[in-house]
Amino acid sequence: MTTGLTYAAVGATCVADPVWTVVPRGYRCVERTTRIGQGLECWDVATAAMGQWTIKTRSGFSVQPAVDVREEQDYTLLAALGPYTLREPVRVVAVVARPDRHGFAYGTRQGHPVSGEEAFVVHRSPDGAVWLTIRSMTRPGRGLWRLAFPAVLVAQRWYRRRYQRAMVR
């Protein structure tokens, strides 16, 4: 279901795949992987957190509606910027829940500052290490957001660091 999304390459962050091979042209693509812990307890906490938007809420966002991550569900991510609230309409376009990989990807809807997709995945290696991978494909949004794109890229880098710290707790 691509109706209402601001881009055509739906699912291009390949949330279920260990290697990101589909990188559409015309997007700024970033992938970051960070070790967040070790062992079954870390894995259980991380996978539960992933399904509850914890990576976003611990990073300063609120999520409406406040329900668990569901594929094909529309949400609005809200970021407080001083006295203002930035609204980011998104749709979860993919969910993965396997014994070694758990996460989701969301795509942008009309009104979002950028156009593209972002994926958050926790995965574990055979030695029990637990990892967080963030994949982002972004291009300028429409209207006035196009002018703000350089500032949005700076904000994205800042938030990626917050996402990594949020999952290490």
**pLDDT tens-digit readout, 28-38:** 899 999 999 99
Residue 79: which of 62, 93, 94, 95 has the closest Cα? 62
pLDDT at 21 over 90: no
* CATH class as words, domain 28-168: alpha beta
Residue 72 is predicted with a pLDDT of 96
Query: Dihedral through CA 88, CA 89, CA 93, CA 98, nearest 10?
Result: 50
Look up the pTM and report it.
0.89
- Condensed to tens digits (0 to 9), the pLDDT of residues 148-169 reads 777 777 777 777 887 888 888 6
pLDDT at 121 over 60: yes
Residue 114: which of 79, 82, 83 has the closest Cα? 79
Sign of CA dihedral 15, 17, 22, 28: positive
Confidence of residue 1 (pLDDT cuts 50, 70, 90): very low
Lowest mean pLDDT among 98-107, 118-127, 154-163: 154-163
Where b means 16+ CB within 10 Å and e means fewer, 115-136 reads bbbbbbbbbbeeeeebbbbbbb
130-144 average pLDDT score: 88
Which sequence spans correspond to the domains of the chain?
28-168
